[in-house]
Amino acid sequence: MTSTPPANKTPELHRELSLLDSTMINVGTIIASAIFIVPAEIAMHLHSSGWVIFVWIAGGIISLLGALSMAELGAAMPQAGGQFVYLREAYSPLWGFLYGWTAFMVINTASIAAIAVAFAKYLGYFFELGGGETKALAISSILLLTALNCFGIKWGAWTQNIFTFAKMAALLALIVLSFTLRDWSSANFQPVFSSQSFSSLLGPLGLAMVAALWAYDGWIEITYVAGEVKNPQRNMPLSIIYSTVIIIAFYILVNLAYIHVLSVGKMAGSELVGSETAVAVIGPIGATLVTLGILISTLGSNNGIVFTAARIPYAMAKERLFFQSMAQVHPRFRAPVVALVIQGIWACLLTLSGTYDQLYTYVVFGSWLFYAMSCGAVIILRQKAPQMHRPYKTWGYPVTPIIFILFAAWLVINTIIEDTWDAAIGAGIILAGLPAYFYWKKALRA
């Protein structure tokens, strides 16, 4: 009997992403519109330059602890799907599925919808747009990015690199111009620390930290496409660590620039702190340039999510725990086209429904629950599978994952206490995956 020719084999994803590509995927996904807006919210809560910078440093360190932990899992299990794979191996297929279900139904698709609408709204700076036109433009951007990524990983990676380098250049220009075109004045940094007691600051610090962590979110994106990274044992952990460090540096510097130009007091009363800083430095054209920067940032961030998130339902389908068609890889373009298209359609429907912001609010605590469980997987798998090949081991283990887990647990518990109703609905969305899981498990046994 003759063997089946290689050309007839089921197409699979190829390892084509370099270290640069992998790092830019994370950096580009993290930098969206938040860094141009969120600093005002943090300043409003804290009213002092020292605490503002402290929150950005602390948020960066917490994100880095999570990244260092997740890097071990990514290097040891360089497969498509990221947390779906880690939770499946450490806990059970059920937990992997519940994560994948929530990521596909809400976390990633609602993020795509929300960022697309933000992109369309910022276009309204140049063109007068109604509500229907804003949604139409948002949906068009989702369809465009989905179509682009259907042509293969190289197209998606090149697009991501271009967008990411452009937004990094824009942020760097804003930082440099802020410090070179404005005379130094220590007055804008006063007070460095407020006279409030630390206990009275715990509440505002918690709210500010949540806002900062939202701006840092996205450092895990490269794990979703781990099956397409070259030399993953080396490049996965390096890309996760490099991207997180780059973002921490940019975020701290840009916030110092905001304070230097505006002061914390003016930041607290600003709706678009990035635009106001640019206007103060280079005049009215600054608002136009920052708006262009935000458009590039939002489009680039959404490209990263569209590109990577589709690999989660693809990985689930490969395990026969989701629609089988989503496991298909295009024979020419080597992309999970069906998973990309269905993800895009669902994100468009969420955009039309207008519920994306509320849906994401419901599952914020859930996403941090899964983050905590994934970092817990580092500890569990060290005990459960000591023989597993680990090209990279978490720096500072076990302190690093434990600190992250404790912080994530605090965030989840605080959300349940402060927003009980939203947390309950979020838990309901996650648990709605149970009947779906048992349906596919039954189909798997049939």
Range of the domain at 219: 14-107+153-282+356-445
CB neighbours of 405 closer than 8 A, spacing ≥ 6?
372, 375, 376
What pLDDT is attached to residue 9?
61
What pLDDT is attached to residue 89?
95
What pLDDT is attached to residue 205?
86
What pLDDT is attached to residue 198?
75
Helix (H, G, I), strand (E, B) or coil at 44: helix
φ, ψ dihedrals at 80, nearest 5°:
-65, 140
The pLDDT tens digits for 248-302 are 999 999 999 999 999 999 999 887 898 899 999 999 898 899 899 989 999 999 9
Burial bucket for residue 361 (CB in 10 Å: 0-12, 13-18, 19+): middle
Q: Is residue 138 part of a domain?
A: no
Q: Is residue 296 part of a domain?
A: no
Q: Is residue 423 part of a domain?
A: yes
CA distance 193 to 4: 71
φ, ψ dihedrals at 387, nearest 5°:
-80, -10
pLDDT band (50, 70, 90) for residue 6 = very low
- A 10 A CB-CB count for 214 gives 16
Q: Of 16-25, 267-276, 317-326, 417-426, give the lowest mean pLDDT range.
A: 417-426
pLDDT for residue 28 is more than 50 = yes
- The mean pLDDT value of the chain amounts to 89
Q: Is residue 383 part of a domain?
A: yes
226 and 13 Cβ atoms separated by less than 8 Å = no
CA distance 59 to 247: 11
The C-alpha R_g of the chain, in whole angstroms, comes to 22
φ, ψ dihedrals at 287, nearest 5°:
-65, -40
Helix (H, G, I), strand (E, B) or coil at 80: strand
Planar angle of CA 408, 409, 412, nearest 5 degrees: 85
The pLDDT of 108-114, averaged and rounded, is: 91
- A 10 A CB-CB count for 147 gives 15
What pLDDT is attached to residue 77?
93
Q: Is residue 332 part of a domain?
A: no
Planar angle of CA 246, 261, 180, nearest 5 degrees: 70
Torsion over CA: 94, 100, 104, 110 (sign):
positive
Q: Is residue 62 part of a domain?
A: yes
**pTM confidence score:** 0.88
394 and 68 Cβ atoms separated by less than 8 Å = yes
pLDDT band (50, 70, 90) for residue 1 = very low
pLDDT for residue 17 is more than 80 = yes
Q: What is the DSSP string of 111-169?
A: HHHHHHHHHHHHHTTTS---HHHHHHHHHHHHHHHHHHHHT-HHHHHHHHHHHHHHHHH
Helix (H, G, I), strand (E, B) or coil at 93: helix
CA distance 397 to 68: 9
Q: Is residue 173 part of a domain?
A: yes
pLDDT band (50, 70, 90) for residue 5 = very low
pLDDT for residue 315 is more than 90 = yes
What pLDDT is attached to residue 156?
85
The pLDDT of 338-350, averaged and rounded, is: 96
pLDDT for residue 344 is more than 90 = yes
- A 10 A CB-CB count for 28 gives 32
Q: Is residue 196 part of a domain?
A: yes
What pLDDT is attached to residue 153?
84
Report the CATH number that the domain containing residue 367 is assigned in CATH. Answer: 1.20.1740.10
Count of residues in the chain: 446
- Quote the number of domains for the chain: 1
Helix (H, G, I), strand (E, B) or coil at 327: helix
